[in-house]
Structure 1
Amino acid sequence: MSDNPQNDLGDKEPKPLLETLRFEPRMEAHLRESLVILRDDSDDRALRKRIDDVLAGRASLRDLARSADFTAVIDSKIDRAVEEFDAIPEAEREADLQRAIAEAHTPPPAEPPTRRDDPGTW
C-alpha cells in the first residue's frame, strides 16, 4: 500500500469520505489530511490500518468514528486542544476565526444539487 491512499485507487478519483462533501473539495481535502495526520501520529497499528482503510475507500468514516480506539484517541486530543484554546487571548481567537472563515469558503457549484442528489451526512 502506498503512503498516498488516492494512489491505491489508480487513476480513479477517490470517493468522498462523506457524500455531503462531494461539492466541497477543500473540506474533503482537509478531512483527508486530518485523517492522515491522526494516522501518522498514532502508534496503534490496528488504528492506523483502520484509518488507511477509510482513506482508501475500503471502510466507512462512520464505522471509524464509532470505534472505541478512535474515540479514545480523539477524546485525548480534544482535551488537549481545549486547554490550548483556553490559553489563547480572546482577540487572537477572533482574528483566527475570521481568517479561517475566509480561507474555508468554497463557492457553491455552478448548478446546486437537487434534494434528490443530497444523501445527507451519514
Structure 2
Amino acid sequence: MKRKPSMSIIRGLLFTYDIENTDDPERERLIASKNINNEKELIELFDELTKPEFLSYTKSEQEWFIESIEHYLAIDDNFDAAFKTMATYFSEPVTNQQAFMRVLLECLKQYNGTHKSQK
C-alpha cells in the first residue's frame, strides 16, 4: 500500500539536527562543525548521522521518505514547512533548501540501495 507524501516524516528524519534533540554534545559539535551549504560536508554529515537512523527503518518506511522528498521536489516545494519549524545546530542557515533536500535524497537512495534511477 502506497503512502501519501508527508512533510512531517521529513521533519522527523531531520530531527537529528534539531536543538530540541539535546542529548549528545559530541553530535552537536559535529553538526556545528560542518558547512551544510557545502555538498561534500553535507554528505559527510548525512553519512555520519542520518544513515544509521535511516537504516533502522523498514524498507517500506525508507521508501516513504524517498518518495516524499521526490514528491516535494517535483512540485517545486521550498521545504519551509520542514526548515522553518525547527531550530538547528547548523552554524549557518541553509541557503538553498531544495539543494539540501536533493543531496539528502541522493544519500537516502544510496543507503537504501536504490541509487540507480528507477522511473
- Whether TM-score is above 0.5 comes out as no
| TM-score, length basis structure 1 | 0.29
Between 1 and 2, higher relative CO (CA 8 Å, sep ≥ 6) is seen in 2
Mark the structure with the bigger radius of gyration. 1
Scaled by the length of structure 2, what TM-score is found?
0.30
